[in-house]
């Protein structure tokens, strides 16, 4: 639900990524897979151990 709000309001996609992945790797992967420009990447590690990436599109 909050992910859908971010997509609509902030032009941001939300991904669950590998805990070892850094922001640069996430940016390159999104650019390669979806052929879109990335403005910035915010990450957080959830209490259950998964890493979530908020990818803002340019």
Q: What is the pLDDT of residues 12-43, one digit of tens each?
A: 999 999 999 999 999 999 999 999 999 999 99
Residue ranges covered by each domain of the chain: 2-57
Q: Rounded distance, CA 2 to CA 45, Å?
A: 16
Specify the pTM.
Answer: 0.87
Residue 46's pLDDT is what? 97
Higher pLDDT, 38 or 3: 38
Residue 2's pLDDT is what? 83
Q: Which residues contact 46 (CB under 8 A, 6 or more apart)?
A: 52
Q: Which CATH class is domain 2-57?
A: alpha beta
Q: Residue 33 corresponds to which tokens in the numbers above?
A: 């897979």
């Amino acid at each position: 639900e909050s992910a859908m709000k971010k997509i609509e309001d902030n032009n941001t996609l939300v991904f669950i990524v590998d805990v070892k992945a850094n922001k640069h790797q996430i940016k390159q992967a999104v650019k390669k897979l979806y052929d879109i420009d990335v403005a910035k990447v915010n990450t957080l590690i959830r209490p259950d151990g998964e890493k979530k990436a908020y990818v803002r599109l340019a």
